């Protein structure tokens, strides 16, 4: 007999999907412990939500967020610890390298969303992978804005939650664009 146990990060994938998709109930729950700026950013996604698709398999992408102005693949990580060392798991390194290679071919910015468990306020931090690749258009601007993973002396990636961009800041940033045509 099978047992339907969720993968360790699955509740957080669902939470992030709901937040970016503009799910009013999940946003209301999230902003209960957020400050006014974070709350306003989360509420702004209600007017301009993403279509978020959960990706099957573990090819380094858990979610894909699509909208008329920005689209990006997202890998979701969660931990009760505020630092993730990729050197502790060879699969994490391979996953990041594969994601970067595939995203670079399409000039898409690879996004890592890091959820710190049991944090009051905005618990999500956004990162991308350091690269010399030259992204195009709005993705080049996005890539420059998002904090990159640290790299250890041994060349391994490190994500320090405190150094990431708040998800609420990313939502505000992608909502700033005014592409209205002017005559």
CATH architecture of the domain formed by 10-175: 3-Layer(aba) Sandwich (3.40)
The string of pLDDT tens digits covering residues 3-38 is: 443 455 689 999 999 999 999 999 999 999 999 999
Q: How many CB atoms lie within 10 A of CB 31?
A: 19
The string of pLDDT tens digits covering residues 73-114 is: 999 999 999 999 998 888 899 999 999 999 999 999 999 999
Specify the pLDDT at position 113: 97
| Class of residue 16 by CB neighbours under 10 A (exposed 0-12, middle 13-18, buried 19+) | buried
Alpha helices in the chain (DSSP H): 10-21, 24-30, 36-44, 90-106, 137-145, 167-175
Distance CA 129, CA 50 (A): 22
Specify the pLDDT at position 4: 43
| Class of residue 1 by CB neighbours under 10 A (exposed 0-12, middle 13-18, buried 19+) | exposed
Q: How many CB atoms lie within 10 A of CB 88?
A: 9
Specify the pLDDT at position 59: 61
| Class of residue 81 by CB neighbours under 10 A (exposed 0-12, middle 13-18, buried 19+) | exposed
Does this model's pTM top 0.85? yes
pLDDT at 52 over 80: yes
37, 137, 178 from 94: Cα distances, Å: 36, 28, 38
């Amino acid at each position: 007999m099978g047992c339907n146990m969720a993968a360790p990060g699955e509740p957080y994938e669902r939470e992030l999907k709901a937040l970016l998709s503009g799910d009013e109930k999940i946003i209301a729950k999230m902003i209960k412990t957020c400050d006014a700026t974070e709350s306003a950013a989360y509420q702004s996604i209600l007017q301009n939500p993403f279509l978020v698709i959960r990706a099957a398999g573990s090819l380094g992408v858990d979610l894909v967020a699509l909208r008329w102005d920005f689209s990006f693949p997202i890998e979701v990580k969660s931990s009760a610890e505020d630092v993730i060392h990729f050197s502790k798991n060879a699969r994490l390194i391979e996953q990041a390298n594969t994601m970067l290679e595939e995203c670079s071919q399409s000039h898409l910015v690879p996004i890592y969303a890091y959820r710190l468990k049991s944090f009051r306020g905005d618990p999500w931090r956004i990162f991308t992978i350091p690269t010399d690749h030259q992204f195009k258009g709005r993705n080049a601007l996005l890539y420059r804005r998002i904090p990159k993973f640290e790299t250890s002396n041994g060349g391994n990636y490190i994500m320090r939650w405190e150094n990431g961009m708040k998800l609420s800041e990313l939502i505000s940033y992608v909502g700033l664009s005014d592409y209205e045509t002017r005559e």
